Amino acid sequence: MQPDEPRSLSRRRLLQWVGASTLGGLAGCASQLPGFGDDADGSAVTPRPTVTGDADTTVSLTASDGAIRPATDQSTTTWLYEGQFPGPELRVQEGDVLSVELNNDLDAETTIHWHGVPVPNSVDGVPEVTQEPVASSDSFTYTFRAEPAGTYFYHSHVGLQLDRGLLGPLVVEERDPHVEYDYDYVVVFDDYLPGEPTLPSDEGAGGGGMGGGGMGGGMMGDVRPPYEGLLVNGQLPEDPPTFDVTEGDRVRFRFVNASSATVFGVRITGHELNVTHADGRPVDPVAVDSFAFGAGERYDAVVEATNPGSWFVQADALDGDEPPARAVLTYDQLDGVRNPETPSSSGTRLRYEDLRAVTPLDGVDGTPDRTFDLTLSRGRGQSYTWTIDGQAYPDADPLRIHPDEHVRIHMENQSPVVHPMHLHGHFFRVGDAIKDTVMVPGHMGEVTLDFRADNPGRWLFHCHNLYHLDAGMARVIEYVE
Ligand SMILES: [Cu+2]
């Protein structure tokens, strides 16, 4: 470590890699080990080892250029896994060992993150935090035990690559589900950006000048990327996918918000949604007409097919004005074609307070051992930045915790827009639910989450609006002893 290095971004990155190479020397493979900031505040804690031995499922995912056709008269070239959009559905049994070889045929570095799965740190897929990014023409193998069961997704964690097509669903099936259903459909909602994603330009983003609101830069609004539409399983509403059902079936929908910057309101015309899982974790079923979810959140809902006809599965952008994403739910006994009915906007909407985890999260009762009070806000000044406690990642202090602590994070959102905050490597309790991503509402919205420090390593905690993340709204949570 160079004590005379300037305190800067480069120093922080250097610190991470100095730690990584030291540890890597012990195991003989620096590039596959997480980096650690080892300094006066404590020494790093050894992460759980990755799984060794035979995998139950082995998959190869090649990231490359490819064409997508979100509607019959529209196509564009973007970045894809296995030439598919969304990427291939990975489906394994709870507890199985999954091994995925990422082959990078892109002209850029990339990684894969297993969103929501509490994997060992070294396979979490966060560049410069848990691994070196995978270079063009190179490959990297992610092996981990797929548990607990749930609806997850995987995506690139490099820059703005998620807003291309580098995402796909991951289903870990329960051995013993707490609700009955006949079969399931995976429903991936996304926002559609045909071109290369870029951060909003500094001048276009506002910030400190005209229209700054009453509380300085932190109160500034946001700029929505120029989306050309909203997608269900890669399709625009002009060319919607169809979900076939038979009257009397109980159909489990696994809804994934894989968007980069969209909060969706989801409903199915003519049917109640019995929400059975939040972020993959089982909850006591809650019957609602709709739910809202932010980027990175998932809900499973069982729908009883008791209303024959043709109906829209619809997701409206709550923060955009694109036409809603739509699929069609069709009963197979229908005679002739019927036009699906447009849902009404009335009815009950799921609230976080409605969610009760079937099994409570261990180790988060009582008074926390450590509490972080964090403010979420727009950065002050001219540039497009988003901050946690005034710091924009990567030029931001790690949040240090000790193994086995009960950690509480309280967030207050001083900006006017929602931040879906995601914690890597852990589930947390929010209210009576267990989740890995939670929306913090704008205009001084507050959320408190609690987790048990049971997965050592260095974990990103960040806003899952990709543009907020890329503009600084992230911290590393670092285990020290
Ligand atoms: Cu955000």
Which domains are seen in the chain, by residue range?
Answer: 1-176 (2.60.40.420), 228-354 (2.60.40.420), 370-479 (2.60.40.420)
From the CA of 161, how far away is ligand 1's center (Å)? 17
pLDDT in the model for residue 41: 61
pLDDT in the model for residue 223: 87
pLDDT in the model for residue 43: 84
From the CA of 55, how far away is ligand 1's center (Å)? 36
From the CA of 23, how far away is ligand 1's center (Å)? 33
**Cα–Cα distance, 105 to 79 (Å, whole number):** 10
pLDDT in the model for residue 75: 92
Task: Indicate the burial class of 137 (C-beta count within 10 angstroms; 0-12, 13-18, 19 or more).
Answer: exposed
From the CA of 439, how far away is ligand 1's center (Å)? 9
From the CA of 388, how far away is ligand 1's center (Å)? 10
pLDDT in the model for residue 283: 98
From the CA of 15, how far away is ligand 1's center (Å)? 27
From the CA of 377, how far away is ligand 1's center (Å)? 9
Mean pLDDT along residues 299-308:
96
**Cα–Cα distance, 189 to 71 (Å, whole number):** 15
pLDDT in the model for residue 338: 66
pLDDT in the model for residue 219: 40
Q: Is the pLDDT of residue 257 over 60?
A: yes
Give how far Cα 205 sits from Cα of 22, 209, 220, 436, Å: 41, 10, 9, 29
Among all chains, which residue has been given the structure tokens 């989740």? Answer: 435
From the CA of 470, how far away is ligand 1's center (Å)? 10
From the CA of 262, how far away is ligand 1's center (Å)? 10
Give residue-wise pLDDT tens across range 159-217: 999 999 999 999 999 999 999 999 999 999 999 999 899 998 654 443 333 333 323 33
| Res. 38 pLDDT band, cuts 50 70 90 | very low
Who has greater pLDDT, 307 or 337?
307
Q: Is the peptide bond before 403 cis (omega within 30 degrees of 0)?
A: no
Give the E-state strand segments of 27-181 in sequence order.
57-71, 74-81, 90-93, 97-104, 113-115, 139-145, 150-155, 167-173
399 Rama class: left (phi>0) / alpha (psi -120 to 50) / beta: beta
Q: How many CB atoms lie within 10 A of CB 200?
A: 16
Q: What's the token pair of residue 246?
A: 């038979």
From the CA of 465, how far away is ligand 1's center (Å)? 5
**Cα–Cα distance, 296 to 258 (Å, whole number):** 6
> In whole angstroms, what separates CA 110 from the centre of its chain?
17
pLDDT in the model for residue 261: 97
Long-range CB contacts (within 8 A, 24+) of 201-204? 201/384, 202/382, 202/383, 202/384, 203/382
**Cα–Cα distance, 377 to 316 (Å, whole number):** 25
From the CA of 384, how far away is ligand 1's center (Å)? 12
Mean pLDDT along residues 229-234:
98
pLDDT in the model for residue 174: 97
Q: Which alpha helices (H) appear in 72-217, and where do they start and end?
A: none
The whole-chain average pLDDT of the chain stands at 88
From the CA of 96, how far away is ligand 1's center (Å)? 34
The answer to whether the CB of 202 falls within 8 A of the CB of 338 is no
Q: Which residues surround ligand 1, an ion (CB under 5 A)?
A: 419, 463, 465, 468
From the CA of 224, how far away is ligand 1's center (Å)? 12
Q: Is the peptide bond before 394 cis (omega within 30 degrees of 0)?
A: yes
> In whole angstroms, what separates CA 469 from the centre of its chain?
11
pLDDT in the model for residue 195: 87
Least confident interval from 20-29, 125-134, 466-475: 20-29
**At 114, is the secondary structure helix, strand, or coil?**
strand
From the CA of 331, how far away is ligand 1's center (Å)? 39
From the CA of 444, how far away is ligand 1's center (Å)? 13
Mean pLDDT along residues 6-12:
37
Give how far Cα 370 sits from Cα of 244, 409, 437, 459, Å: 49, 9, 20, 17
From the CA of 27, how far away is ligand 1's center (Å)? 37
Q: What percent of the chain has pLDDT over 90?
A: 80
Q: Residue 20 has what DSSP assignment?
A: H
Q: How many CB atoms lie within 10 A of CB 212?
A: 17
From the CA of 198, how far away is ligand 1's center (Å)? 16
pLDDT in the model for residue 336: 59
| Res. 277 pLDDT band, cuts 50 70 90 | very high
| Res. 15 pLDDT band, cuts 50 70 90 | very low
From the CA of 464, how far away is ligand 1's center (Å)? 6
